[in-house]
Chain A
Amino acid sequence: MLVYANPANFLRLVERLLPAVTLLTLVLFGLGLGLVFFVAPADYQQGDTVRIMFIHVPAAWMALFIYGVMAVAALGTLVWRHPLADAAQKAAAPLGAGFTLICLATGSLWGKPMWGTWWVWDARLTSVFVLFLIYLGLIALWQTIEEFGLAARAAAILTLVGVVNLPIIKFSVDWWNTLHQPASVFRLGGPMIDASMLWPLLVMAFAFTSLFITLHIMAIRNEILRRRLRRLSLRVANQAELPSFGKAAAQ
Chain B
Amino acid sequence: MSDPHFGFILAAYLLAALIILAMIAAVWTDYRRLRLALERLRPDAGSDEPDGRE
Chain A interface residues toward B at CB < 8 A: 6-8, 11-12, 15, 42, 47-49, 51-52, 55-56, 59, 83, 94-95, 98, 101-102, 105-106, 109-110, 112-113, 148-149, 211, 215, 218-219, 221-222, 224-233, 236
Contacts and interface: CB of A to CB of B under 8 A. Distances in A.
B3 A49 contact: yes
A13 to B, nearest CB: 10
Interface of B: 1, 3-6, 8-9, 11-13, 15-16, 19-20, 22-24, 26-28, 30-31, 34-35, 37-38, 41-42, 45-46, 48-54
4 cross-chain pairs, A with B, having the tightest CB-CB distances, nearest first = A48-B3, A113-B5, A7-B51, A225-B34
Nearest to A101: B19
A229 B38 contact: yes
Contacts of B4: 47, 113
Contacts of A12: 48
A6 B51 CA distance: 7
Contacts of A15: 48
Contacts of B6: 48
A215 B50 CA distance: 23
Given A8-B48, A218-B28, A222-B31, A233 B8 contact: no
Given A52-B9, A55-B12, A94 B26 contact: yes
20 contacts: A6-B51, A8-B48, A11-B48, A42-B3, A47-B4, A47-B5, A48-B9, A52-B9, A52-B13, A55-B12, A55-B13, A95-B23, A98-B19, A105-B15, A109-B12, A219-B27, A221-B31, A225-B34, A225-B46, A233-B41
Contact of A218 (B27, B41, B46): B27
Contacts of A7: 51-53
A218 B31 contact: yes
A211 B50 CA distance: 28
Nearest to B34: A225
B23 A215 contact: yes
A241 to B, nearest CB: 16
Contacts of A59: 16
A102 B16 contact: yes
Nearest to A46: B5
A115 B6 CA distance: 16
Contact of B51 (A48, A101, A102, A228): A228
A106 B4 CA distance: 17
Given A8-B50, A215-B27, A226-B34, A112 B19 contact: no
Given A11-B48, A105-B15, A229-B37, A49 B27 contact: no
A108 to B, nearest CB: 9
